[in-house]
Amino acid sequence: MFQHTEHTTTITDTLQATANEGGEKVDFKELLHHVQNSNEIELPFIGHVHLPHFEPVQLFGIIFDFSISKHVVFLLLSALLLLFITFVVARVNSKRKVPTGLGNFIEVFVVFIRDEIVIPNMGKAGITYLPFFLTTFFFILTMNLFGLIPYGASATSNVSVTAGLAIFAFLMIQFSAIKAQGIGHYLMHLTGGVAWWLWPIMIPIEILGLFTKPFALCIRLFANMTGGHVVIVSLLGLIFIFKNWIIAPLPALFVVGINLLELFVAFLQAYVFIMLTAIFMGMGMQSGHEEHNEVHAHH
């Protein structure tokens, strides 16, 4: 698992140097525990617990580190929690005609994603892919919310996690397009409909465009989930920089506001991720339907 600590270390060192000008030592690394990945986690009443470490494995010249990091722990916790909640909700809802409580809460999101995201962007055929969108939405949301609780961490603030989600989105985008268009029309679509002598220019551009969409999904989710925590650290750092309790209430109020905003962002980024994925998938599927309608029109 890639550990992105370089940019947060730079911020920490800057704040550390500023605060230490007065001769006092302040540990800003503790403020960045939500953002930084590490090989240990902090538990209440127990303290720091070291996670299993494995020797890196080299395959085809690439080094893979399969050690368990903090973000991996919270990623697995998110998956297990999500499986447990959905299993319980599915069993309860199957026995009731009208869901109540948690089952009703989950159904609100299911109906919203189906009626406001999947069907408008992908048509009735998009219902086939509804389980993918529901899984992706709740998984991202759970990981985002874990970063807002004490001793927790947002796995989505790790670019490796968002890259993995983007890869699955990329595969689903291409799969849905090929299924709707057929492999022949899908490959011809890469030519952009231009003259054959422009293919050497258009095909690389179209292929690059296939990868820019998931790349944007990856960086957008990573940057938004990391940025909020960095802002909180910067605001708290003002207290140590000024070294005066009079200034403390103002940054504290801003931190509370940012935390409330982070709660909204946790839902928003999960929504944006699946919304854009649905749009990209719908574009490929509609191209296939348009081709199918044109063929029938000629006949």
| Cβ-Cβ contacts under 8 Å for 274 (sequence gap 6 or more) | 113, 117, 133, 136, 137, 140
| Cβ-Cβ contacts under 8 Å for 126 (sequence gap 6 or more) | 118, 119, 278, 281, 282, 285
**pLDDT tens readout for residues 255-283:** 888 888 889 999 999 999 999 999 999 98
Q: Answer whether 0.75 is exceeded by the pTM.
A: yes
**Is 3 in contact with 225 (CB distance < 8 Å)?**
no
Residue 161 Cα distances to 45, 51, 122, 178, 274, angstroms: 29, 18, 26, 26, 15
Residue 298 has pLDDT above 60, yes or no: no
Residue 289 pLDDT level (bands cut at 50, 70, 90) = low
Q: 70 by DSSP, 3-state: which?
A: helix
Based on its alpha-carbon atoms, the radius of gyration of the chain, rounded to whole angstroms, reads 23
Name the E strands within 78-212.
Answer: none
User: How far is 30 from 235, CA to CA, in rounded Å?
Assistant: 14
Amino acid in the structure at residue 231: V
Residue 89 has pLDDT above 70, yes or no: yes
